[in-house]
Structure 1
Amino acid sequence: MSLVTQNAPNFIAPAILHDGTIIDHFNLKKDIKNKLVVLFFWPMDFTFVCPTEIIAFNKLYQEFKNRNTEIIGISKDSIFVHQAWKNISIKDGGIGNIQYPLISDIKGEIQDAYNIMHPEIGVALRASFLIDKKWIIRHEVVNDLPFGRNIQDMIRMIDSIQLYETQGEVCPANWKPGKPSMHPSQKGLINYYNN
């Protein structure tokens, strides 16, 4: 069942921060204030599609930061496995210096709270949640294990939320910044199709 429109479940869990610091009690709702949050899950460290997604988020880190958005990554691996993976360069099969927190969900409690556990393997599906400043989940994408995410589309969704919150305009199919949006009314729809 989708969590869109619902309050994002809080969690407290071990994390490794961008500078390599390990903390035992990262608290989502206490440690992040007045920002949008992209919370994303991957199945396991030291796999194949997962590093491409983690690195893709990292390459676009400044784009998220410019939009006042915090990225947080989560898997069931221990914090020490995350640390080992970060300590290996990308060219040698690691993920290198990731600029956002990596959370350890070793008991699987966070993936259960977000309802994204693979039914047979017990790891997280490739799930991403966009959470607004009031802790409401506004966007959710869940992929099966073989299929990597489109990270750029998460930025588009952030831009959509910010347009709606600042101007009250809604975003039609395939909307991008600079493209026409519309007033949420019959007149707005007609104007959209006639411009």
Structure 2
Amino acid sequence: MTVLDTDFLGAATPADEIDPTADLGTARTQRRLTALYAARDVFVAHGYHGASMEEISTRAGMSKPVLYTHYASKLDLYLAVLQVYLDRMVDGIRDALAVTASHEQKVRRAVLAYFDFVDEDAGGHTLVFESAVPSEPCVRWRVRNAMGECAVLVSAELRAAGMDGIRAYACAFGLVGASHSAARHWLDAGRPIPKSEAVDVAVALCWNGLSGTTKR
């Protein structure tokens, strides 16, 4: 988690409204956060290739030279925005599993975390799973690494349930992949059924498979 992590649900302070009496560290952090908000909006609206640093700087209320003092390139800024969403996704899984509950309840919470991730900010979901720059190695690596972190968290629970390490990791990747695919389909289909029902379907698929290989 970085100091710039944010829920991206509100609005950052425009650059020209930042308190000039704030200490330099706080003011710089606020300007970087303002740029992230602006970049998020522009990347979601126009995609990576359609976005321009000029539009981002205008939306952030700062000049392009100032923007470049915070982020060296458009890709650098895109990666910063992307990482915030990836951190949120991983933290959602971590929080879902950090409870005292049955294994089946933890599976439900993990699946629900993916549905919440795609449901609560479709723009962030698009940046993570439908990146316009998937051929960029650093983008692929960050997404793959975040999905791997989620699988590691799930596999730890499966090992605790009695599954050996190799099978636990393989099953964890299966659960992670099935969960985010089901959540994406539900969103892309226009939320045809209530989220709770869609989660029930995904949980039934995952749990019916896992329950036969773990100790309940």
Fold equivalence (TM over 0.5): no
Question: Comparing both structures, which one devotes a greater share of its residues to strand?
Answer: 1
Name the TM-score class by shorter chain: under 0.3
Return the TM-score normalized by structure 2: 0.22
Question: Comparing both structures, which one devotes a greater share of its residues to helix?
Answer: 2
Larger radius of gyration: 2
